Amino acid sequence: MTKLLIKNGRLVNPASNFDGIADILVEDGKIKEIAENITAEADKVIEAGGLVVAPGLVDVHVHFREPGQTHKEDIHTGALSAARGGFTTVVMMANTNPTISTVPVLEEVLASAAKEDINIKSVATITTNFDGKHLTDFSALLEAGAVGFSDDGIPLSDSAMVRSAMQEAVKYDTLISLHEEDPALTGVLGINDGEVSHKCGFTGAPTVSEYSMVARDAMIAYDTKARVHFQHMSAKESVEVIKFVKSLGANITSEVTPQHFSITEQEILTVGTNAKLNPPLRREEDRLAAIKGLQDGTIDVIATDHAPHTHEEKDQELTKAPSGMTGLETSLQLGLTHLVDEEYLTLSQLLEKMTLNPANLYGFDAGYLTEGGPADIVIFDDKKKVVIENDFASKANNTPFINQELTGKVIYTICDGNVVYEG
């Protein structure tokens, strides 16, 4: 058994509303003791004075591209990227090649994930190979280790299929996560239909393509009583719809990405395709609505939608380049910079959206710090200013935040009591 002692850190634990100076003793992968002054001997002592000690971050929306697209990312480099960003648990999406629609593919992915130093989970697809017509075998996939179901990347256009999927989710008490963009209402994907797209000479993806589907599916969730999670909300009206349907008693949750609460469509004009993503960056009023949703609890979770692409793929004209940006290594910093520093959220409120709430979404034993609980911990400097450099652990660097000064630096990421990243 190994012992790790963390001394004098500012322990911020949203699960218990604790925010104060404390020591943590870790033994054999678990937290053995939390106290004001622990004097026990340890194999390693981390002096955390002046630093924040918090539960390891949890991201319920990442793309690690394995199998089939490992030139962009693979599970190993994705895990390294996550650890560097302070994440100890992540959930992979199923839009791989082949998609995670069958037990053999799921088992292959989970076997690869089990080799890594952080906790890596995976959803399976709702429909077979994203065909939008045939449900996958929920029972078999759950038995094989899927934590939920999502066709993320492809919206479900058929409302009857959505209802069937939700009824199946109720049957097995599992979670459905939805990507909401009505393809019949969109022009060029990845760019908001508005000032910037019109300057570029084309019709983009309007906000109505998102909030119309959110309204439909939120009401189907209300009818079926399914647990439904709405991914990467980007439109002001979407936030209002979710708030209303929650008030009716629907069992729904939602997420926003750091990019959507940090920047707007105007970024396209300066960094081009590195600011192209689905759903697209929107207007300032949408960005502020997302922040308001975080403040009032309408939006429960911050998730990165980490979506790596190669330089060659992104180095194309705007209408042809793929959508998506990397996010694991800048997520905490963007939250500190644009939410905590600007006094929209307290540090504990930010961490709640990045630890406790996403863990609770899937029922993971994560997102909290308590004696006898898992020793998944992030230690970071919440005041240090850092200029983002092009030196990511991810295979990809498709982000608009390179050369920007952000707040925060992860110093240690600890998973199952082991230091998995030291910065």
pLDDT tens track for 158-211: 999 999 999 999 999 999 999 999 999 999 999 999 999 999 999 999 999 999
329-385: pLDDT as tens digits = 999 999 999 999 999 999 999 999 999 999 999 999 999 999 999 999 999 999 999
Q: Going by C-beta distance under 8 Å and a sequence separation of 6 or more, which residues neighbour residue 261?
A: 287, 290, 291, 294, 302, 334, 338, 339
**Taking the CA of residue 194 as centre, how many other CA atoms within 13 Å lie in the half-sphere pointing to its CB?**
19
Residue 13: C-alpha distances to residues 10, 82, 97, 295, 375 (Å): 10, 20, 39, 18, 13
SS3 content of the chain, % helix, strand, coil (to 5): 35, 25, 45
Residue 186: C-alpha distances to residues 194, 230, 259, 269 (Å): 12, 19, 21, 20
274 annotated to a ligand binding site: no
65 annotated to a ligand binding site: yes
338 annotated to a ligand binding site: no
CA-CA distance, 276 to 400, in Å (whole number)?
A: 9
152 annotated to a ligand binding site: yes
278 annotated to a ligand binding site: yes
| H-helix or E-strand spanning residue 274 | none
Is the pLDDT confidence value at 2 over 90? no
Q: Going by C-beta distance under 8 Å and a sequence separation of 6 or more, which residues neighbour residue 342?
A: none
71 annotated to a ligand binding site: no
9-64: pLDDT as tens digits = 999 999 999 999 999 999 999 999 999 999 999 999 999 999 999 999 999 999 99
User: Interior CA angle at 213 toward 130 and 281, to 5°?
Assistant: 90
Catalytic residues: 305
269-308: pLDDT as tens digits = 999 999 999 999 999 999 999 999 999 999 999 999 999 9
Helices 208-224 + 236-248 axis angle, to 10: 10
Which token pair is 188?
A: 């060029």
CA-CA distance, 149 to 179, in Å (whole number)?
A: 11
What per-residue confidence (pLDDT) applies to 1? Answer: 61
Which token pair is 129?
A: 């190979």
Spell out a b/e string for 320-338, using b for 16 or more CB atoms within 10 Å of the CB, else e.
ebbbbbbbbbbbbbbbbbb
Which token pair is 380?
A: 């970071």
229 annotated to a ligand binding site: no
**Which strands make up the sheet holding 301-302, listed edge to edge?**
149-150, 175-178, 227-230, 252-256, 301-302
Which token pair is 309?
A: 């692409």
